Structure 1
């Protein structure tokens, strides 16, 4: 059983200065060491969340996202930022409606509805305002940066990959460097159902610590290796909500990115005790090996 994480006293005092007395605190962190999230409730039952970011980089990304990008999603489609405290990397947030989609025991039709609405929200996020010159440069360099990370990922994965699998990853990194221009914008960065809240009629997005300027197709990598792998109907529904299918260049980039993601999963998953991430990487890499090295 995961050990519960206590809310730091100074963070609680700061939150109470903004929302009033807190009657109860519940640890709502994800099951990994650096996740620190608490649900607060006042004596009347009103609820909020406090999140302490795992790093200054994530804190900066998330506060910026809530102030400048998330409003494009629309009313009740994401939490709202009440305040932030840089000294503690803390954010105080409203509660968005719904519960994480994976815990809802949804029917096939409901899952298609979830994906369609998630696609619509991703389109809004990806198109949330013009990028300034610095953001444009970061976004246009995102695929190159992903390709440049291959040796780091291979080093972490170590002997979990065969020599042929290592070469496959390097080949896909080389192909990614040659991909032409693709649409860019603000991406969620961890776009998957655990960050989609489903109320039974609408989806809301949460967890924007990885939101940044990038190639829009990078937001589809996790979905391609998990949800859509076994459920092509969900992929079709997502793109219906998104408003378009991917271009040929985007599809090529996505295949390259899934290969690099697989290697990253095979390094990160075992090191952090996440067998589901490890399994995602292994399944993707096995599929690519079957298709590319029959």
Structure 2
């Protein structure tokens, strides 16, 4: 295989040459928003996903920690297995899961798939829990810093959001291992069975944070999907008071980050999230 067409750096290619024997590049599955390269590679032993990124990419260490530190093992064959990694070169190799991406397929709005998503996520969350007295403080401070970054939130809205966060007095919360981007873009479905991918936003957070994308993208318009998810999860992890703050923080982060990476559709979503979140105040 000629890695020169892959967009990888020399040290990343050198590492992959030590991992694979006569590999073939099947497809480039990169999203294109960040500097992460996602490659479908095949050799005599099977199919793999290669994920490589730049030195400043925050997603790489999170995904590596999720796999290397054993957090993903609780899901068994419902998620990928880490095959090899080079932390310095910032490249990892995962076994490639079968199935079809739920996003853009009939599975995207299938209540049974959303029920499975609740069940799988509950298993991931339940493996650990601890109290974090500073989590909400950090999120409040992060939101305020983000409002100082370039964005296209209108001035009156930004000032209102800033005033709300500055007046907020956070409290300790329970944090669990979270996926961080839990919705159909990161679900595969293989013969009706949901599989999970992409732990680039893995972190210890309140369980409810893994509901934020689903709530905005699906539950507002399809309440039957919310019911199916919660049926699979077994309870609603959202505390109403904390939830409104988490939604507001997520909305700010989405609008500012999407603007920074020039994703206008995602930025528009962030702006909608912000308007919706503010109705709770």
Structure 1 and Structure 2 fold alike (TM over 0.5): yes
Match of 2:193 in 1: 202
Asked if 1:258 is matched to 2:247, the reply is yes
Q: How does 1:117-132 map to 2 (within 5 A)?
A: 117-129=116-128
Match among 170, 188, 209 for residue 162 of structure 2: 170
Matched, 1:187 2:178: yes
- Over 3 Å counting, the alpha-carbon distance change for 1:234 and 1:17 in structure 2 is same
Q: Cα distance, 1:107 vs. partner?
A: 7.2
Please report how far the alpha carbon of residue 38 of structure 1 lies from its aligned counterpart in structure 2 after TM superposition: 0.8
Q: 1:282 Cα deviation (Å)?
A: 1.6
- Residue 64 of structure 2 aligns with which residue? 63
1:202-250 deviations in Å (ceiling 9; x for gaps) = 1111111221212222222222222222122111111111111235xx2
Quick check: 2:114–2:225 contact (8 Å CA) kept in 1? yes
Matched, 1:274 2:263: yes
Instruction: Tell me the CA shift for residue 188 of structure 1.
Output: 0.8
Structure 2: runs of 5 or more not aligned:
none
CA distance in 2, matches of 1:267, 1:93: 31
Q: Does the 8 Å contact 1:265/1:281 carry over to 2?
A: yes
State how 1:81-230 maps to structure 2 within 5 Å: 81-106=82-107, 108=109, 110=110, 112-129=111-128, 139-156=132-149, 158=151, 160-163=153-156, 165-173=157-165, 177-178=169-170, 180-230=171-221
Q: What is the DSSP-based 3-state SS (H/G/I as helix, E as strand, rest coil) of the residue aligned with 1:155? A: coil
Counterpart CA distance in 1 for 2:172 and 2:89 is 39
More strand by share: 2
1:285 equivalenced with 2:278 (yes/no) = no
How far apart, CA to CA, are the structure 1 residues paired with 2:220 and 2:229? 13
CA distance in 2, matches of 1:12, 1:22: 12
**Contact in 2 for aligned 1:140/1:184 (Cα 8 Å):** no
Kindly indicate whether the alpha-carbon contact (under 8 Å) linking 1:197 and 1:204 is maintained by their aligned counterparts in 2: yes
- How big is the shift at 1:59? 3.3
Identify the structure with the greater helix proportion: 1
Task: Tell me the number of residue pairs that the alignment of Structure 1 and Structure 2 aligns.
Answer: 275
TM-score normalized by the length of structure 2: 0.86
CA distance in 2, matches of 1:236, 1:21: 48
Distance 2:14 2:114 in 1: 39
Q: Mean Cα displacement is larger for which, 86-95 or 48-57?
A: 48-57
Give the RMSD, CA atoms, in angstroms.
Answer: 2.6
* TM-score (normalizing by structure 1): 0.82
Contact 2:150 2:260 in 1 (8 A): no
